[in-house]
């Protein structure tokens, strides 16, 4: 089964999953291990959630996937890179909803506005198999909401608390659910508060604190046997977030995410499920340097992003075909400004629009067909097309950009197409698959219209380029796996050949706005760039109680002689798990080789090889009908001081960290 196929299977099984949580549990467990790697189970009390630190951030969950790297600018709001590519190249959605961050410096990826209590799983698709919710190059990450479903469970809930010693992070969370045959609701609340963390050896990393809370609610009502309505809201509010790798912090990052959906099962023998959703979300991001003792000039940099959209998704089965069709669209407005306060009261403050109120519209259609040719062979075809428009609404912003691009148009429309094909062969315990895909994306707001956006990595001010063409990606992928009761192994590789690769290049003709900057870079397109990803993972059931697993990941990225930045060096990890009844224990090791192929042109310095060790244990107690789970562990056991390729400006990672998670379910 390919990831696409399992994705569709999950979509088809969605109505079944919502029927009852017990059923859902059973259903998940029936997914073969090799497929689970593209689904990260997040629900805290789900049997498939094997993570010991269940109350880790969503970022902590995503990081375990072989296709994902998390770029860290501090302890909060890590940026997910998919297949070695930055967020402009992937589509990150919450239950299929498009959301855009409001920070010009990538301090607020979509993933920072949800909490683990909001979600049941994250669904990861590589390359064009992830084009269902919008045009992509790298693929997609869909964060799936937790839904109690219709059942006769009545009231139940859980209380979570956690403590981590390195930054004295305190976590408190509750989740309350009610389910009946006709109605369900889930309300949850999560609070996290952390001080500065300490690197290995005890050095305090200043400006790495954060505080956040998240409230969410979801409710569903069954209109009749086959039709249901649901509504969902998430409110996420982070304050006093420090970014030690950046010159500025965040005083407020806030999101409101709301949606309403209508679902119709068994529309006809041919159409299994029809779901239509309308959504709206708004993000506010306020950057702040008032806590930094020394800055060359004080700055205020707020940003706002608002997105409204819809999708209407049909899926069904007919003979050998399992199909899916999705019509989706969104309208986004992105506005960000910067005020530089003069140190000399006689001089005027300087104001500019860093995102000049850019309005973006996208609407697209995507279809997918899985054909089971016979017991051994199956194929997956996908096809999609969309229309993308960007318009600069602010006249002052438009005039400012016209200084660099006198011919520039106020509005720009692009057609974005995607197509892919995959063939799979399975015989007994073996599975082999190979695929090819082609996709296009439009330049992101910063790439097209950003105005003097300072990048603290290479210390250049970046100016967007509204006259760029589409970025076009041709991909090849292959997967092979062997799965038996005691042993499984999976090897995966993909190659992306990207034409018109968008990247900033120095322009010596312009002078920077930021004091101390190295110069100005303007977004341009490289005729071609290649990105290669490979991973190998294996698990072995040594005895009934001991499970050994290991993985290794390798990436490469270059354009001719130019190396692309933020590409993971050869990394590895291994875990030994022990399970006896309700007790589990785990020892793990993770590390990377020296990063020899770093990109000096982008200000990258090499990250040294490292190895860190972690241990943890958990015990579940049954108290009448209630469940108490205690999980504890030590991360970076040897208190190693290290920094990886993914650490912005090479800020050191957390040193020894003792954590304890307590979960009480009633």
Residues that bind Cu ion (CB under 5 A): 103, 105, 107, 287
Question: Measuring CA to CA, which residue among 228, 381, 365, 273 is closest to residue 310?
Answer: 365
Nearer to Cu ion, 437 or 504 (CB): 504
Nearer to Cu ion, 105 or 447 (CB): 105
Question: Which token pair is 144?
Answer: 């799936």
Nearer to Cu ion, 92 or 416 (CB): 92
Query: For the chain, how many residues are written?
Result: 666
Contacts of 155 (CB under 8 A, 6+ apart): 176, 177, 178
Question: Measuring CA to CA, which residue among 105, 341, 351 is closest to residue 246?
Answer: 105
Nearer to Cu ion, 107 or 479 (CB): 107
* Per-position DSSP letters for 160-219, written without gaps between them: EEEEETTTTEEEEEEEEEEE-SSEEEEEEEEEEEE---BBTTS-B-TT--EEEEEEEEEE
> CA torsion angle for 639, 644, 649, 650 (degrees, to 10)?
30
Nearer to Cu ion, 88 or 586 (CB): 88
> Could you tell me whether strands 562-563 and 571-580 are parallel, antiparallel, or unpaired per DSSP bridges?
unpaired
> CA torsion angle for 605, 607, 608, 612 (degrees, to 10)?
160
**How far is the C-alpha of 125 from the C-alpha of 410, rounded, in Å?**
34
Nearer to Cu ion, 449 or 496 (CB): 449
Residue whose CB is nearest to Cu ion in the complex, by number: 103
**How far is the C-alpha of 635 from the C-alpha of 169, rounded, in Å?**
14
Question: How far apart are CB 506 and Cu ion at their closest, in Å?
Answer: 23
Neighbours of 638 (CB within 10 A): 11
Question: How far apart are CB 596 and Cu ion at their closest, in Å?
Answer: 32
Question: How far apart are CB 446 and Cu ion at their closest, in Å?
Answer: 12
Nearer to Cu ion, 49 or 251 (CB): 251
Nearer to Cu ion, 287 or 498 (CB): 287
Residues 452 and 463 sit within 8 Å (Cβ to Cβ) = yes
CA angle 132, 492, 432 (to 5 degrees): 90
**How far is the C-alpha of 70 from the C-alpha of 534, rounded, in Å?**
17
Question: Measuring CA to CA, which residue among 151, 158, 162 is closest to residue 176?
Answer: 158
**Distance between start and end Cα atoms, the chain:** 37
Nearer to Cu ion, 170 or 292 (CB): 292
Question: Measuring CA to CA, which residue among 363, 358, 266, 280 is closest to residue 316?
Answer: 266
Question: How far apart are CB 98 and Cu ion at their closest, in Å?
Answer: 20
Question: How far apart are CB 287 and Cu ion at their closest, in Å?
Answer: 4
Question: How far apart are CB 248 and Cu ion at their closest, in Å?
Answer: 7
Question: How far apart are CB 515 and Cu ion at their closest, in Å?
Answer: 18
Question: How far apart are CB 352 and Cu ion at their closest, in Å?
Answer: 16
Question: How far apart are CB 468 and Cu ion at their closest, in Å?
Answer: 24
Question: How far apart are CB 297 and Cu ion at their closest, in Å?
Answer: 17
Nearer to Cu ion, 454 or 496 (CB): 454
Residues 121 and 40 sit within 8 Å (Cβ to Cβ) = yes
């Amino acid at each position: 089964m390919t990831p696409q196929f399992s994705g569709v299977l999950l979509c088809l099984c969605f109505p079944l999953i919502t029927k009852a949580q017990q059923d859902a549990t059973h259903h998940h467990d029936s997914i073969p291990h090799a497929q689970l790697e593209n689904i990260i189970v997040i629900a805290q009390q789900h049997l498939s959630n094997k993570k010991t630190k269940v109350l880790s951030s969503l970022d902590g969950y995503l990081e375990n996937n072989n296709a994902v790297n998390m770029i860290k600018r501090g302890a909060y709001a890590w940026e997910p890179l998919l297949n070695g590519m930055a967020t402009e190249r992937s589509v990150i959605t919450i239950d299929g909803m498009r959301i855009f961050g409001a920070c010009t410096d990538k301090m607020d990826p979509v993933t920072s506005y949800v909490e683990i209590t909001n979600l049941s799983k994250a669904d990861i698709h590589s390359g064009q198999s992830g084009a269902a919710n919008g045009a992509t190059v790298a693929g997609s990450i869909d964060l799936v909401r937790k839904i109690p479903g219709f059942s006769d469970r009545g009231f139940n809930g859980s209380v979570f608390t956690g403590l981590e010693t390195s930054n004295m992070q305190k976590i408190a969370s509750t989740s309350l659910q009610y389910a009946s045959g006709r109605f369900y609701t889930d309300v949850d609340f999560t609070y996290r508060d952390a001080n500065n963390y300490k690197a290995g050896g005890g050095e305090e990393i200043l400006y790495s604190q954060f505080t956040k809370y998240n409230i969410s609610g979801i409710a569903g009502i069954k209109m009749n046997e086959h039709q249901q309505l649901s509504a969902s809201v998430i409110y996420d509010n982070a304050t006093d977030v420090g970014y030690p790798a950046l010159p500025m912090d965040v005083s407020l990052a806030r999101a409101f995410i709301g949606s309403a959906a209508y679902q119709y099962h068994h529309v006809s023998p041919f159409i299994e499920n029809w779901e239509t959703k309308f959504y709206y979300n708004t993000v506010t991001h306020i950057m702040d340097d008032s806590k930094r003792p020394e800055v060359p000039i004080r700055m205020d940099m707020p940003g706002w992003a608002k997105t409204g959209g819809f999708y209407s998704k049909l899926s069904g089965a007919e003979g050998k075909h399992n199909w899916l069709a999705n019509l989706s669209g969104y309208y986004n407005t992105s506005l960000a400004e910067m005020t530089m306060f003069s140190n000399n009261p006689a001089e005027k403050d300087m104001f500019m629009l860093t995102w000049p109120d850019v309005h973006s519209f996208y609407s697209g259609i995507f279809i997918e067909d899985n054909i089971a040719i016979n017991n051994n062979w199956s194929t997956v075809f996908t096809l999609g097309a969309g229309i993308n428009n960007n318009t600069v609404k602010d006249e002052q912003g438009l005039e400012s950009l016209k200084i660099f691009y006198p011919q520039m148009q106020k509005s720009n429309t692009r057609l974005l197409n995607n197509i892919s094909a995959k063939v799979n062969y399975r015989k007994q315990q073996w599975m082999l698959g190979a695929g090819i895909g082609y996709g296009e994306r439009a330049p992101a707001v910063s790439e097209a219209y950003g105005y003097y956006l300072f990048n603290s990595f290479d210390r250049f001010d970046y100016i967007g380029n509204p006259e760029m063409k589409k970025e076009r990606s041709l991909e090849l992928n292959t997967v092979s796996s062997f799965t038996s009761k005691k042993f499984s192994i999976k090897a995966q590789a993909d190659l992306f050949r990207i034409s018109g690769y968008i990247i900033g290049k120095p322009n010596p003709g312009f002078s920077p706005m930021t004091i101390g900057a190295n110069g100005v870079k303007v977004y341009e397109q490289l005729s071609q760039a290649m990105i290669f990803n490979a991973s190998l993972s294996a698990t072995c059931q040594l005895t009934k109680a001991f499970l050994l697993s290991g993985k290794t990941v390798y990436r490469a990225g270059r354009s001719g002689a130019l190396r692309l930045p933020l590409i993971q060096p050869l990394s590895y990890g291994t875990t030994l798990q022990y399970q006896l009844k309700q007790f589990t224990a785990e020892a793990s090791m993770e590390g990377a080789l020296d990063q020899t192929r770093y990109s000096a042109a982008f200000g990258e310095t090499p990250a040294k090889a490292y190895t860190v060790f972690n241990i943890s244990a958990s015990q579940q107690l049954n108290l009448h009908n209630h469940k108490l789970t205690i999980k504890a562990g030590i991360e970076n056991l040897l208190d190693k001081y290290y920094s990886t390729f993914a650490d912005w400006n090479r800020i050191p990672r957390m040193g020894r960290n003792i954590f304890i998670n307590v979960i009480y379910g009633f």
